[in-house]
Structure 1
Amino acid sequence: MPRLSYGDDVKARVRQLLEALLAYVNHEVENSDRYQIKCWKQLPNQVIIKTQSRTLAELSSLEIKQVRQALKLLEKFSEILEDLRAQKQGSENYDFRLTLWHPIDEKENNLQTFNEDWEHKRAQKPGVQRTEGRKVNTPKSKKIDDLVQNARDEIRPYIEELCGKMRVLGMNKPIEVDDIYTSVNILEKSTKSKWLSREELLQNAGYENFDRPNLRKVSEPRVPGLKAVEEHPKLMVLGKPGAGKTTFLKHIALQCINGNFEKNRVPLFVTLKSFTKNNNSADLFKYLTQQLIPQFIDSQVIEQLLKEGKLLILFDGLDEVQDPDKQVSEVLESFTRQYYKNKFVITCRIAAREYIFENFTDVEIADFNDEQIETFANKWFTAKNDASKAQGFISQLEINKPIKEIATNPLLLTLLCLVFEQKGIFPQNRADLYEEGLDILLDKWDTTRGVERDQLPYKNLSRKQRKDLLIQIAYPKFEDGKYFFKPEDVDKYIIKYYESLNIKDDIETKKILQSIEAQHGLLVERAHDIYSFSHLTYHEYFTARKIKEAGDDKILRDLCTHITETRWLEVFLLVAGLMRDGADQLLLFMEKGARSCINTDKLQELLRWADKETTGSMGDTKPYGKRALAIAHAYANAHAYDHNHLMSYRYFYTEPILLAYAYNSAEGGSGTHAYANANANAYAYPIANDYAYPIAIAIANANANANGIAIVEAIAKAISIALGLNLDKNGQPSSENVVGDRGSSKQGCPFL
């Protein structure tokens, strides 16, 4: 009978089986009916299971012989399994009782205790193999431990120099990795592997309840990155461009060399692009022992550490290697099989991974959530000795939701921090900010790192042509409200564009979409064969670019047919920003479109009321701006009175500024003038109280120098009011007084 082994690979397989069993018992397995397993709980921490070895192999993704070994170790080594079979020899049927450390439904606690119990028992058994064939407490063991420690001491300066700092985008000097590193979260199941319909994706994005769906929303549980590395001896870390894959690997290397993670291993950081560039023979062993680190560690020591499984090898950037014949991938897989006792991590862009590593577990780096964004910002500005800016940065993100959407990408979040660091505010014209982010994703990020990608026919397009291609995809899908689409849905737009460039290559739409995702991350496969833009912000931006670059009145008129649709709001703002001083025609069509919606006696009377109430009021705000604010205030006040809901002030005061902001984006504005407007607005109404005054300041800042667009602003608000006029019992507009603060007796709007 072969000797039982207790090394890291064996432990990982036993844990994998135990985790699969706990997932099944806790009803976490999809389509569980297909497994022939009977189970029932006897005690909170005890369950009996009846099944067959092949079923357990399918459930756990292990081989049958690995399942047998894992069950034996759960019985003989972990001592949590009791074999209840009468006939054991040669039987593939299993009947056993699991008695765990914690209640059955506490899966994570049980798995954590399994790890601790395994290591404790392995250390307590002087005769067992610690790492596949090596006994503890022997002279050889002591020698290996000394070699590891010496190697760690020798390589520390190299790891700290290679991984300790980073410099990206427009940084004028490097920054310490640990100063800004924000813990990443891992999705153990890639989003693109799901089989979901577009309707299910829309429902998950919240489109039924919001005009601005969250395209990036995922329901998969998140796992801390280091935990994933700890649990899997061979890990493939996938991620979108700019997701922080390299930074994550550098953090792992630093944690290891500082004794905070895998302190009994020696970390090696390998840039695969450098390996392929400097090693024509694709001999990874030779590269490690003769080129990468022999100046720090003797090559014979490296070889011995490899054989003993004492290395933590971090391979960065598989997607950055030009590997059409999969030679490098095959070399990596062969190497990791030969030296299987070591721990390996490989990073790759999610859409660029074509080769499947059989013994690796695939995980995906999740987008940053709100907590991670705030943590990163606090660390960034603290590292720049300007911690006070962090709160302002977070506050500005909350105000600018489209900008916050792109902040979920660490690379674009870095761009936002750099911009805010210099100006203390985001650009008033958001189109400029998005354009800079696009240039980074389209080629600057690869160019600054010397990365070349070979994916024809997309590779031969210039930066402008790539933008134009994305415009051709974005506009028709946004106009149809189709945020999620299949390759065949955009096939005709892509082919037509390539034909316009006189490119005669066979165009395969899916490969084009995959290339865009792999190289730039601007498109993402959300589920199997279903794509969307990575952020709704960029879908809106490319739609606005199409409208602006078309340069004709027809498309502007078509745009203005959507003036009452909230989902088009950001497009209006972006078009105005892109047109800059040429936005007059857009504003004219917007006004005409709005006027066509309000040609009713009630709404005309409403506007006359607003004019009467604001005529002669103090301040230099334009009369039409005052009318718009009066309507907004009256509506908010009435809503608060009717529903006792003072938070309505915030909602109804924020909404009216948005159309004005479109003109402001085109014209630019003055901060001094804005503050003066704020004070004028506060005096314009007797109800300028604790609620109205700060809101007036916010409105004025957004509305500074907005000129004629305020007419459209007033009309647009009138449209929304028309849908909710309060009528009296005779069906006429109510003449109730609106309750103002501090005992104001001002007569309210007679139509609210």
Structure 2
Amino acid sequence: MTSQGLRASPEGIRAAKTALTDKTWSQHKLATALGITRQPVSKFFAGESISRSCFVQICQQLGLSWQKVAGLPEDVAFETTPKTQFKGADLDTLVREVRQKRQDKIQDQCSTLQILDISQTIQLIDIYTDINVLEKITNLQWREISDLLKDFKSESNFNQLGGYKGQRKLPGLEVVLRHSKLMVLGKPGSGKTTFLQYLAIECNKGKFQPNRIPIFIRMKEFAEDAQSDSQLNLLNYIIQEFINCSIEQESTKIMLAEGKLLILLDGLDEVAVEKADKVTREVRSFTQTFYRNQFVISCRIAAHKYRFQGFTEVEVADFDQEQIEIFAKNWFVAVAFNSREDGEVIGNLFINQLHLPENQHIRELAVTPILLHWICLVFQVKDGFSLKPAKLYEQALNILMFRWDEIRGIKRDRVGYNLTLVSKKKLLYQLAAITFEYGDYFFEKENILQLIAEYLNTFAGVHSEATQLQLVQEAVLQEIEVQNGLLVQRAQEIYSFSHLTLQKYFTARKFVEFPQVQNWNNLVNHITEKRWQEVFLLTVGMLPNSDEILQIMKQKIDLLVAEDERLQYFLTWLHQKSSSVSTQYKAAAVRAFYLVCVEQSSHRAFIYPSGYDLEYALVGNIAFDADLALDEFLFSTIACINELDFAFEYSLNDALDHAHAFAIAFDETVDLVVNPKLKQVLQKLKKQLPSIDSNPEKFREWWQAKGKVWGEQLRDILIKYRNIGYDWQFDEQQKELLQQYYDVNKLLVDCLNSAADVTARVREEIEETLLLAIADIEKVRNSDTNS
């Protein structure tokens, strides 16, 4: 039966005009705010009859009682509500009866989860992790790229940018209690559906909103079940749901009229595009008609086009460290089907390994619940994070691009140019490579649309007219943003990739797709930039053969210090010293060892504290070799002398602590010496030192008077007997250059170790000439040629 129209009384029209003036609105602006045409608004103010739905919407938008505006008693309701009125105890009894009849249905519908790549259903309560929400929607904030970059301290805080900084995060449950109408927005896989299911279960158990009856509606199913537009009716849908639970139609209408339902509408973005507008209008009308109930609607943030009157909008925040840990500990019990004790042990192991520095790229993905689940699954199967990063990213990409929708039976409409999955990936590779090349982590919408247009122009058949191309560009961007969540808005009209580590992966894929010398040279030009290191590692890890790029990298590295005579001389000494040591280890690893020893003993370090990363990457720990261990102690003694000089010169309070450290290091060094002549001269030198413990002040005076000469004597002894102890006196530019040289050699060795395939000849050539002066490299190559 169609509702009869309503018309405003003269008093109602005056009140409405006053409200409109107070808001400084025109009738046109009022219509726009409601999402309706101007005609019913004009009729409303003219006192003509309009539909009840429009009448109520207008009054609610103006903050007026529709009954008063219509000149009706306050208790008049829509004809969809029954004439019978329940109050007090009778209504409470009815609520209890309806809740009881609905319990099994809600439990069956919402208590379990179907999880990616897990064949069994999982109990929601066993894995649920409380979510936090942001009160301000990130993509609605007006910020500039410069504002975002102010917060960009390091790559590790990338996920906290774009509206997260300074925002108050609130528990999701707390926000639902605050607002009777809530729109929950979030990225793909952020936990929106799970949160709504949790609300339904908690309400069902009487722990949340115990005086309301939950109903959980998947909007995709609501739209699909309607055979015609006339059947897109939420009232009839809910009535039928309740009838299926043996609840009479009249009782359902009473519950709705009295505001006794918790109505959870999940996945507004999952409705097919041809029904989206009709479903949205139905939701708007229903929520305004039955406004006394509590509503929670979920939707992907990028698909959020419609705003509903009276709804507060919040955004699901990424998981923080505490949430990741809670989720992981639950996962290894509930999903991996371990005992509680075993699951907690594995969960703690997972968390400890996740926080290792080398797993930074995994931690970045772990802030998204669906990806965290998959990371836990990999860890369970592989007994650790042994999966190669490129494989990890490819799987994460597939989850976001199609698998997450596929498992839930969601087929999203292609709203843009008819790109295949492969073409869409190649577009992402190009977008990432170009933006990363320019150092752009954030980019204006206009720029990203231009890059999309350039890519689409490579396809035959794309219309070249500007208007048509603009529409295609917008549609493609919308598709990537809404359906895949791989591009996200960090503020109004400002985009970035959802994860910085995926931007690097896409950039590497671009080089893999076009393995040409010119592209290799372009990549190698960035070899000294730390932000490019992961791109290099990913590229060599994905190439079927990495010989060519590794050789170009080696050539670039050698040329880095080729023009500096002092550094070339230093590398020549490094080769001579390393060659004089009898050891089973690779020559390159020994050279790396002595390079770090020199750094650690210098007056001012030129290599950042990194341990023995380079030689460890080559052969592992080499500290147990006797000759190398002795030299390490000798270098350590020189380092202590430098620190002691500095402490006494500046009268530091801990100068005597440095003196004790020096004495201990020197004693241990002398004990370790085997060569009798060296041992003799060191012991003689040791006798010159006054006792620190018996008279600290005397030691201070002696050191300040004679310490410099004593130190020079020690250096002369070490140069004579061990060919170490030189004071290289590098300037700041040389120190910086040597730091770069060390870092890029470490990167080269890491690339050698992670490459999918390198021929034995190329590997051997690189390792043999690592950390050598140009002249020595030529000798090695000539020797290999002659042999």
Instruction: Tell me the TM-score normalised to structure 2 length.
Output: 0.65
Matched, 1:353 2:304: yes
In the other structure, the counterpart of 2:459 is: 501
Q: What is the SS of the residue equivalent to 1:362?
A: strand
Counterpart of 1:427 in structure 2 is 386
1:392 aligns with 2:349: yes
Equivalent residue for 2:255, pick from 290, 296, 305 = 305
Q: 1:323 to 1:563 in 2, by over 3 A?
A: closer
SS in 2 for 1:653: coil
Structure 2 residue aligned with 1:584: 547
SS of equivalent residue, structure 1 residue 145: helix
Change (3 A) 1:513 1:246: same
Q: Which letter maps to 2:350?
A: F
Superposition map of 1:124-143 within 5 A: 140-143=87-90
Contact 1:633–1:652 (Cα < 8 Å) also in 2: no
TM-superposition CA deviations, 1:256-297 (whole Å, max 9, x none): 112221111111111111111112310111111114662353
1:490 equivalent in structure 2: 448
1:214 pairs with 2:214: no
Q: Residue 591 of structure 1: CA displacement?
A: 0.8
**2:345 aligned partner, one-letter code:** S
Which residue of structure 2 lines up, in the alignment, with residue 743 of structure 1? 668
288-297 vs 426-435, which moves further: 288-297
- Flag the 1:585–1:305 CA change in 2: closer, same or farther, 3 A: same
Map 1:609-648 onto structure 2 (within 5 A).
609-612=573-576, 614-615=578-579, 621-632=585-596, 634-635=598-599, 637-638=600-601
Deviations 1:84-105 (A, max 9, x none): xxxxxxxxxxxxxxxxxxxxxx
Match of 1:231 in 2: 178
Measure the CA separation in 2 of the matches of 1:575 and 1:678.
24
- Percent identity among equivalent residues? 37
User: 1:587 is matched by which residue type in structure 2?
Assistant: L
Contact 2:449–2:477 (Cα < 8 Å) also in 1: no
* Partner amino acid, structure 1, of 2:516: D
Does structure 1 retain, via aligned residues, the 8 Å contact 2:159–2:364? no
Cα pair 2:445 2:494 within 8 Å, conserved? yes
CA distance in structure 2 between the partners assigned to 1:252 and 1:619 by the alignment = 66
Corresponding residue to 1:686 among 596, 612, 629? 629
Q: Which residue number corresponds to residue 714 of structure 1?
A: none
- SS of structure 1 residue aligned to 2:215: strand
C-alpha distance 678-352 of structure 1, shift in aligned 2 (>3 A): same
Counterpart amino acid of residue 260 in structure 1: K
More displaced stretch, 385-394 vs 293-302: 293-302
2:214 matches 1:270: no
Partner of 2:115: helix, strand, or coil?
coil
Query: In the TM superposition, what whole-angstrom CA distance separates every residue of 1:238-262 from its partner, at most 9, and x where no partner exists?
Result: 0011111001111111111122211
- Tell me the equivalent position of 1:477: 435
Aligned counterparts of 1:740 and 1:300: Cα–Cα separation in 2:
90
Q: State which of 513, 518, 524 in structure 2 corresponds to 1:560.
A: 524
The residue correspondences of 1:131-170 to structure 2 (distance < 5 A) are 140-170=87-117
User: Paired residue for 2:409?
Assistant: 450
Cα-to-partner distance string for 1:620-677 (whole Å, 9 max, x where unaligned): 6532133324434553x348x869x9xx99x51386489x69xxxxxxxxxxxxxxx5
- From 496, 514, 517, the equivalent of 1:550 is 514
| Residues 578 and 257 of structure 1, relative CA distance in 2, 3 Å threshold | same
Equivalent position of 1:413 in the other structure: 372
Residue 119 of structure 2: aligned partner? 172
1:379 paired to 2:330: yes
Cα 1:166–1:493 change in 2 (3 A) is same
Kindly indicate whether the alpha-carbon contact (under 8 Å) linking 1:738 and 1:748 is maintained by their aligned counterparts in 2.
no
Task: Tell which has more relative contact order, 1 or 2 (C-alpha 8 A, sep 6+).
Answer: 2
Aligned match of 1:604: 568
Aligned residue number for residue 46 of structure 1: none
Q: Which residue of 1 aligns with 2:140?
A: 193
1:590 Cα offset (Å): 0.9
Q: 1:633 to 1:272 in 2, by over 3 A?
A: farther
Residue 63 of structure 1: how far off its partner (Å): 7.5
Letter in 2 for 1:473: L
Change beyond 3 A, Cα 1:306–1:656: farther
Q: For residues 552 and 566 of structure 1, what CA distance do their matches in structure 2 show?
A: 23
Give secondary structure in 2 for the equivalent of 1:351: helix
Q: 1:211 to 1:270 in 2, by over 3 A?
A: closer
Deviation at 1:162, TM superposition (A): 1.6
1:125-161 deviation line (CA, Å, top 9, x unaligned): xxxx9x9xx9xxx983212212222222222222222
Mapped pair 1:316 → 2:260:
no
| Residues 653 and 157 (structure 1), Cα distance of their counterparts in 2 relative to 1, 3 Å cut | farther
Q: Which amino acid aligns with 1:356?
A: R
Residue 444 of structure 1: how far off its partner (Å) = 1.1
Name the SS for the 2:87 alignment partner: helix
How far did 1:416 drift?
0.5
Q: Deviations over 1:278-335 (max 9, x none)?
A: 1231011111111466235343332221121111111100000014461001111111
Distance in 1 of aligned mates of 2:579 and 2:122: 56
Instruction: Look up the equivalent residue of 2:429 and give its one-letter code.
Output: I
Question: 1:549 corresponds to which letter in structure 2?
Answer: E
Aligned alpha-carbon RMSD (Å): 3.4
Query: Quick check: 1:212–1:567 contact (8 Å CA) kept in 2?
Result: no
Decide whether aligned partners of structure 1 residues 638 and 378 sit closer, same or farther in structure 2, where only a CA change above 3 A counts. Answer: farther
Letter in 1 for 2:327: F
Q: Who is 1:240 aligned against?
A: 187
What per-residue deviation string (whole Å, max 9, x for no partner) do you get for residues 438-478 of structure 1?
011111111121112224224x2221111001112111111
User: Which whole-Å CA distance do the structure 2 matches of 1:688 and 1:378 have between them?
Assistant: 47
Which stretch of the first structure deviates more once superposed, 520-529 or 349-358?
349-358
2:277 to 326, 331, 356: 326
Distance 1:613 1:373 in 2: 49
Maintained 8 Å contact 1:619/1:681 = no
CA 1:555–1:212 in structure 2 vs 1: closer, same or farther (change >3 Å)? farther
- AA in 2 matched with 1:191: T
Q: CA deviation at 1:531?
A: 0.6
**Kept after mapping to 1: 8 A contact 2:102/2:242:** no
State the alpha-carbon separation in 2 of the partners of residues 352 and 160 from structure 1. Answer: 29
Partner of 2:500: 536
Cα distance between partner residues in 2 of 1:679 and 1:622? 12
Query: Structure 1 residues 740 and 310, CA, compared in 2 at 3 Å: closer, same or farther?
Result: farther
Residue 537 (structure 1) shift:
0.5
Give the Cα separation in 2 of the matches to 1:338 and 1:744: 87
Q: Deviations over 1:197-243 (max 9, x none)?
A: 1111111222xxx3666154222111110111111101010001111
AA at the equivalent of 1:546: K
1:351 corresponds to which letter in structure 2?
A
Seen in structure 2, the aligned counterparts of structure 1 residues 743 and 151 have a Cα distance that, compared at 3 Å, is: farther
Residue among 496, 504, 524 paired with 2:488: 524
Q: CA deviation at 1:549?
A: 0.9
SS at match of 2:208: coil
Letter in 2 for 1:337: Q
The answer to whether the 8 A contact 1:191-1:526 is kept is yes
SS state at 2:120 partner: coil
Question: How many residue pairs are counted as aligned between the two chains?
Answer: 555
Q: CA deviation at 1:689?
A: 10
Per the alignment, do residues 143 and 629 of structure 1 end up closer, same or farther by CA in structure 2, a change over 3 Å counting? farther
